[in-house]
Each structure stands twice: as structure tokens, then as C-alpha cells.
Amino acid sequence: MLLIPKASPTTYGFSAAANMSSGEERSMVRISNGTWYYVVDYTTTNRIYRSLDNGSDSTFIVNLGGINSCLATDSNDVVHCVYTDDGNIWYINSTDWSKREIYNPISTVDGYGSSSMTVDGNDMIHIIFELGTSGDSNDNQLFYMNSTDSGNIWSSSQMLTNEPDLGDDFFDGCIVSNATNAIHIIHYWEDRSDTGKTQIVDTWSTDYINWVTDNLTDTDEEIWSGFSHAPSAMVDDNNIIHVAAHNYSAIQKANITYFYNDSGQGWVQEWVQPFAGETNSGKVSISTTGNGTKYIFSQGINGIQYSVNWSGSNSWSVLQNETNWDFLLSPSSLGSYYPIIDGNHINRPATGFSFVSRNTTCSWIYVITNNLSWDSISATNIFPVNGSIDISQQPSLFADVSSSDSYVNITWWSNSSGTWLQFGNNDTIISGTNVTQQNLNFTNYDTTYYWKINVTDDSTSKSFVHSLTTIPAPVPELDDISEPSSGIEGTTIFYFNVSYKINDSDPPETVNVNITQGIWYDNSSLVWYEGGNGTWANYTYNTTLSNPGTYNYLFFVDSGNQTNTTTSDSVVVTTDSWLSLYFPSYVELGDYIMATGSVENSTGTPLDDTWIYTQFYNSTGDSQLSSPLRLMCENGAYWLTITSTIFIPNNYTIWVNFTDPDTGIDYNSSHDIYIGQSGGPGHYSTPVYFTFYNNNTGIGLSRESFKVYVNTTSTLSSTDRVYGDAYNSYTGETIYYRIDDYFDLQVYPTSGTSTSVTISEVNEFIDIPIDWYSFGIQNMNHSVIKATLTNGSRTYVQYLFPYEQYYWDLLSGDYNLTKEYYEPASETLQKTEYTDITITNDTYYWIAGYSRQDIICDVNDIENRSVLLLSFYNTNDGLGLPDETLKIYLDGTRYKDNIFYVQNGTIVNVTIKDYYNQTMYWGNHSIVSDYMFLDLGLTFHSYKFSNANNIYYTVSILKSNATRWWEVGVCPYETIEFLLPSGYNYTIRVYDASNDELCNFTTNVTNSKLFLINGSSLDGVLSGQSNITGQLLELQVELGIATQPDIVAV
């Protein structure tokens, strides 16, 4: 469609050297009512025109007075324009078409170039512009600014590149924003360090403060920028950035190159057909359509050419010219990813293309259209709106969808897994219907997810991409609902309770209480006991604290997404104190009530300067004294004498208490007393004595072996323990008692929790039968045995040396006996055995049969035993050597003794080593006699050294494998001798008093030798003829008993 200026062509003359616009893809835009705006480039200025009929006619709007202009629109149909004028940056918009200067460099600018702008999904305006820095007009840098209020206020400028004079050159950029509102600047970069190597790069940012630069082209590739025309970039419905640019190389000349970047997965380069044989090309422009078709328009020597990549195609068509396009220059195509108005890309063609261009004489402006149509599908009232935050997990998504067709099909997609996956669909929906779908994949807190609706009618398919950010993870709340009070070390049970609440009502992963006393003392999990996690659930943990002092504690919770803690609190743990008091249980009216006792802490230290209070209560709980009796405790002593005449005959409870002056903790003790009628029938105050005896043997047992508990009720507790063997009672009283051992196991009665007796006489004795059984154990082995006897959680250990025995007194029950065998010489563990034992009577247990030396076995084994005896002798004189001379091993085990009991008919290995672990003898022997002697002879050789000089020397000898030298001094004219075991290597060195060596050599000792120290040498004078070969030890074997006479046949 031809657009003719209102005046004659000569009135609006065009400069042939001027560009259409430096914001290459933004010289032509459309708003939602169908109005087009475009820039006309005159000789020294740009002008904005408007068309209401798709370019058939136009109206002049404003003369910018500058050049390098770029257009963009927002969701309110406001047209924005940025341009340059003598190095300053100017801005204008369609609200009033008033010009305003937004950037005026303070320093001198050596040249200026293109500007470009985009409006993102939040209607934020982003601009870039190119200025040459002072000192080098070719040293261009890129600058960035933005505005969040439709161009009223602008941010400070950022120089995205900062190169010194004659540094790298950055120029000709275009700017786009994608679905995530990330800003991408596609521009050229000339590497001045390698002249002529110009690259296309992508400088991008998500926060508009921190920028990253990625290469679109290889660093070794030469890119030609033509007439400084910027690359052209567009973003399609699937958030893919498409870039078209020229590149040039000496071989391929001028080419059009196409790139795309799929959601930040990296840039991919595709080559479009080159300009055959041409070395020059001009402006390039790219546009996309709703159906996915892409067009690239380029100015060549022969006019405007274009290539197309159809929807669903993986290749580009050959560059082609249309008739009547040969005289057109500087194409700028129509199309816009943003704004999205009511969920629709309404200003981006659904099909076809349109571009504005001029003729070669700059006298006409042309608008070219082909198969141009606009979206028939829309999705409005989309919820959540794009970029929403604080959206609940697994949200329901909504949209009103409509089409020119009666019905549409809808699919819902999300990228929660990192790739686009379908999560729902609505089929055959009436146009104009509100549809909804819940996304169950958006499960994480504080996470940005992308989702899209794909709407398809009879002829068109369209996607609407949105993002949302889920709500932050709720912070769990904690409330310390109760504080443990002060208590006693190892006795008081401290309860740590806390309440937990969280908005999502999910149970916590961990609720812990951390308890410290300078260092971590405890870190334990609490358990739930009541309540709901959304409305305060209560958790508890209890423990005793074993050390006195102040403990700090706090509660910690981890919900799985967030953590929280309470402030630190403290609890005081003190040393236990107690009252150990004696009160009579019966007195007659008129007698004195006399009590004694002590007050101590848990370490047995008596308390001083402490008031102790005593009060009497009758059977109905009424106090009998107008005020408690007060006694000052000195050195832990308690004593009380009070007449019974102030009472009437009755049962009374005596309550004694005091407050620990250090901890403030109150301690008390209660005692029962019966005050009877004076001279009453059958009542006499008397102690009751407890004695113990072995029920199996009738032999008495010591009272220190048992703990006695007595009270007048059948329920006995730890406070009812009697210290000693007597309990104060009176005749006619019924008492209940129980006997425990010191493992707190009940010994008597053998059934029930207690037994009773009525006191019938003064000084009554209660004889307690104890069903103890004797368990004897004897070690019948050569080994040392560690015997461990276990019953439940109780363990007793006893070591038994060879043939030693031990006795335990045990209650009936099941026990485990663990036997660990240790080699006596090396003290190494050889074997472990476990035996379960049930004690029902007296038992005697023999441990026998572990090793060859364990001689206790059954009769058949005893009948077939033999004795092996090893001895050593000196072969030089035929006399015996001590057993400790060498180390003895039988079947690989070392023994200290030299007598062994072995099975007749077996084969045993005998190994002899010296104490440097060198093997001197190794051999296997068959046991064929009741007695078998192995006599091992050790041969010694004489090494003599005679000193013929008048100076002193030291002779040093080092045996192989040894770490110490054997040194002997030799005086002038003296002779010394070494007796050396045969068969070893020895190092011999001789040195004088100045430590100067006379000799140093190694020899194998197999015979006797004599050396002479003569002058400065050591001479061998003679060498014995008796050489020892074979085993290092000489072996003789004898069978039979050494002391018995020979057997004589009769």
C-alpha cells in the first residue's frame, strides 16, 4: 500500500544518507484500536505520523527535532518515543506529545549513535542509547535508563560498558523484554585488541542493576556491522528471543544471520542464505506472528529482500525480492510482544506482515502489507495476574476465553519441573466462558512458577504466558507454656513443655529442647500429647538433670520450610538434702516423745544454721500445736523431747520440714505415732528387729546385704526404708515390710509387694529367709578367663586364673555367663563363649576344654593324651640353657611354659625364635608316645679380639634385626671374647678413643675366629674349622619317660 506525503515530494525532501530509524524494529507500532504510528526520517530530523487505516493514509503528529528515534507502546495504548539530539537524550509520549530532555551528558561527547526502547509486562519503560566517550569519537559505550511511571521520572543513567580511550567499541543495540521481564540488549562489540573482530553479544539483566554478557557469535568470527544498523530482535508467545543481524567475512561476504534463545537455555545460531557475491547490505528487521511464522527483511544492493520461516518449519526460505521492491530501502516491520492487553498480544499480527520503507530518492514512504490479520483469540481477566506474588500453593487458575469461532479447546501448562508440561485441559468450551483449572504442581513456598493457557479454535492456536510467586513459608510459632521449677539433681523430673502453631496446620519435622550447662547437655525431641498444629499443639519432654547448677534451655522447631526458637530460659538444679529422723511409733500417755536424727545434703555434709519446724496433726488433719516447734539445726543435728500429756490417746502424724537456705527448696518428713492410754491393755513400746538367714543352709546372713522397708500400710515407698535393722513399734501394731537387695530387686517376700506381721511381744525378732543359691565356677584351663555374669541389666565380672574357683550367692532366675579366654603370656583374647544358665538350686560349673593345654576333659580324651617337653642346651659344653633363652611357639601360638599336653597321634608345629623375632627352628612333629622330648641345642662361637697397640679401642657388634650394639672396650695388649650364637649375620666395627673407625664389616657367624688389632688394621689371625650348617638349632628327640628304667623283656 503506497503512502503519499501530504505535500509534494520536494517539500519533504529525504536525505539519501539518513536512516529510517536507529531503533530498527521500533519505527512502526500499533495500538489496540488499530491505529498505526511510524517515524519518518528527514534530512536532519525525525517526524512521527499516524495512520487510522493500516497505512492507506497518514496524519503528521510531531516534529521531533532529533534523530535515532524509537517507538514502543504500553498496556494503556500510550505511544512512547526516545531519540537523540546533539548527544542529549529526549523523550516524548502520546499523552500530550510534549518533548522533555531526560539525559544531558556533563562531559564532552565525541559522537553519538542509536537509541532503543521497550516496555515490559509491568509497563516499565527501558531505554538504551549509544554515546562516544571523550577523547576518541570511535570509543562508543552503551548507557541504560528506566522509568516506572510512564516517563515522568527517570532513573540515573548506567554506563553498561566502561572502556578507556582506544578500548573496545560498543554500538548499535536494540532492547527487548521477555515474559519474565528480563531485559536483553542485543548489540555489537568491536574488540579493539584484535582490530576488525566485531561480535554480536547479549547484555541482559533481571534486576536492571547487575548485568551479564553472553556471546551470540564465536569470538574468532568476524562480524560486519554494515552502516551501523543495529540487530533486530523480537520475543514470541513462547518467550523465545529471535534476532536477525548482518555478519560479514572475507569468504562469505555479507550474510543474514538468525539466532534464537529458548528461555535462557543458550543461544542457537542458524544461517540464512547470504547475499551472493555482495559486500554491502543495510538495515535488517525481524517480525513474528501469532501462529509462529517469522519474517526477516533486509536491505541489499538490489533493494529489499526477505526470507520466511513458516510455523512448524525448521528452515528458512531462500532470500527473495518482490516486484516493485527493488527501489525500496530501510525496512522496519510491524509487531510487538508487549504490551499484553487483557492477556492478548493484540498489537502483534496473527498472520502476515507489514513493514514501512522509503524509496531511493527519499521522496516517498511506502507501507507494504501481505496477508495481514489480527488475533481472533483472546484470554482476559486472567487470575492470578501476570507477576502476582503471595499466591497460595496449588492455586486455582482462571481466565475468560473468547474467539471469533463458537467453541475453543484449552490446555493448561506449567514449567514447575523445568520443562513445559500439560497439567489440565478444557475441551469444546463455548467462546466467552470463564474457565478454571487447579495446578497441583505449585507446591513449594516462595517460588516463582510460569504457566500458560493454550487456546485453540478452528484455525488458530494462541498461548498466554504468566508467572506467579507463591506465598512465603509460614513461620512456626512457639509458646513456652510452662517453665520447670527448681529441683534436685538426679531426682526431680523436669518437664519441658511448649506449644506449637503454624498456619498450614502441618506437623513439624522437629521440635527439640536444647539444654546447656556451659556445654550442650541435652538435645532431645519433644512428643505431641494434645491439640492441633493449626490451633496450638502441645509437645512435652521430661528428664532428670544429673549435675547441680544453672541450666539454660530453649525450644527449637523446624517445620520443614522455616525454623524458629524461643528465647533462652533457665532452671536451677541443686544438691539433694534429706531428713534422717527417728520417732517412736508408740508411747503411752505420760511418756516423753523423744526423737533424734540428722539433716544432710546428698554428699553427706551436715546443714548448719537452719531452722527446722515440727507439727503434730490428728487423724482428721487438724494441727495440735498452736504453732510449729522451731529448732535451730547445728552441724546437722535434730533432737526433740516433748511430753505426751498435752495430747489425748489417738493416732497422730508428725510433720517435720525445713527450707534449704542455699536453694530455697522445702524438704519435709512425716512420721506416724500412736499415743495410747497409760497402762492400757497389751500395748507396749518396743523395737522390732530384722534378721536374715540362708534358707538353703540355715546360716545367718549379714544385715548389710539388704535394704528393709517398713510401714503401717501395705503400700511401701523409698521413704519407708529403715536405716539399720530395727523398727520402732508397739505390741498389737500390724506392720508391713519388704526386703530388697542393693540392685533394688525384691528378695522377700518372693510374691506380692509386701508381707505383714502383728507385733505380739516386746523386742520381737522377724527372721527373714533368703532363697540364695551357691553358684560355683572353676577354671580348669591353662588360660585366664574373664567371667561375666549377667541378670537383666545387672552385671558382675570376675577374673579366674588357671585352676582358680569363685562362688556367687544368687537368687533363682535366668543368667548369662560370658567366658573370654586370654592367653596368659601375651594377654591376647583368644576366644569368647556365651552360656545361658537357669539357677534353681546350688550349682557348680567347670570350665574346661579350650586349648591343647586345657587338661580337664572327658575320660576318653584323658586316656589318649601325651606330654610334649621342650628343652634347650649349649652344644659347646652339653649343659642346659634356661627356658627363657628363646621364644616357644606351638601351632603358631606363643607359650611361656615348655610343657604341653597334646593329643596322641596328632601333628604339631614347633617354632623357636630369638627375641629379635628371627626364626631359629621350625619343624612339624608327630606325637607317637605318651612322653616326647625335643632337645634343642644352641651352638655358640668364640670371637676374640687381641690388641697389639698401645692405645684403647672399642669393639661393637650388632646382631641382624637388633637395634642395640653390644660394645666392649679393649685395653692395650688385652684380649676380649664374644660368644655369638651360630648362624646369624653380625656387623662388627672397631674404633679408637677419638671415634675414628679401624674397621666396619658384616659377617655370618658359622665358626670361631681370632682377630688382631695391629697398627691401623684389624687382621684375621685364625678361623675355626667347625662350621655349623642346616638348622640354627640342633635337634635331638627322645621318646618315653626320662626317669623310668628301660623295658626288659622276660
Distance CA 573, CA 493 (A): 11
Confidence (pLDDT) at 7: 28
Report the top-level CATH class of 864-937: mainly beta
Confidence (pLDDT) at 1032: 60
Could you give the strand order of the β-sheet that contains 100-103, starting from the edge strand earlier in sequence?
A: 67-73, 79-85, 88-93, 100-103
For cell 523523550, what's the residue?
Answer: 91
Phi and psi (nearest 5°) for 862? -65, -40
Q: Which triple of cell numbers denotes residue 696? A: 538353703
Three-point CA angle 115, 120, 123, nearest 5°: 105
Closest-CA residue to 128 (of 46, 68, 198): 68
Is 724 strand, coil or helix? coil
Q: Under CATH, domain 578-676 is a member of which superfamily?
A: Macroglobulin (MG2) domain (2.60.40.1930)
**CATH code that applies to domain 2-373:** 2.120.10.10
Is the distance from CB of 220 to CB of 239 less than 8 angstroms?
no
Confidence (pLDDT) at 603: 62
Q: Domain coordinates of the chain in residue numbers?
A: 2-373, 378-470, 477-574, 578-676, 685-770, 773-847, 864-937, 940-1027
Confidence (pLDDT) at 133: 61
DSSP per-residue codes, 351-381: EEEEEEEEETTS--EEEEEEEEE----EEEE
Q: Which triple of cell numbers denotes residue 476? A: 512456626
Closest-CA residue to 269 (of 280, 277, 261, 278): 261
Confidence (pLDDT) at 21: 32
Distance CA 238, CA 147 (A): 26
Architecture of domain 378-470: Sandwich (2.60)
Same fold, 578-676 and 685-770: yes
**Cis before 749? omega within 30:** yes
Q: Low-confidence residues of the chain, pLDDT below 50? A: 1-25, 136-137, 165-167, 225-228, 276-279, 342-343, 851-862, 1030, 1041-1050
Burial group, residue 367, by CB count within 10 angstroms (0-12, 13-18, 19+): buried
Three-point CA angle 505, 509, 514, nearest 5°: 115
Confidence (pLDDT) at 654: 93
Q: Which fold has domain 685-770?
A: Immunoglobulin-like (2.60.40)
Residues 6+ apart with CB under 8 A from 222: 196, 197, 198, 247, 248, 249, 250
Could you give the strand order of the β-sheet that contains 893-895, starting from the edge strand earlier in sequence?
A: 893-895, 887-890, 907-913, 919-926
Amino acid identity, position 765? F
320: number of Cβ within 10 Å: 11
For cell 527450707, what's the residue?
Answer: 659
Confidence (pLDDT) at 111: 53
Distance CA 288, CA 308 (A): 10
Dmax over CA atoms of the chain, in Å, equals 164
Sign of the dihedral defined by the CA atoms of residues 265, 267, 268, 270, in that order: positive
Amino acid identity, position 1044? Q
Confidence (pLDDT) at 253: 57
Architecture of domain 477-574: Sandwich (2.60)
Confidence (pLDDT) at 107: 55
**CATH code that applies to domain 940-1027:** 2.60.40.4150
CB half-sphere exposure, 668, CA atoms < 13 A: 11
Q: Is the pTM of this model over 0.75?
A: no
Confidence (pLDDT) at 974: 93
Q: Under CATH, domain 773-847 is a member of which superfamily?
A: Immunoglobulins (2.60.40.10)
Confidence (pLDDT) at 316: 83
Cα dihedral angle (403, 408, 414, 419), rounded to 10 degrees? -100
Phi and psi (nearest 5°) for 345? -85, 70
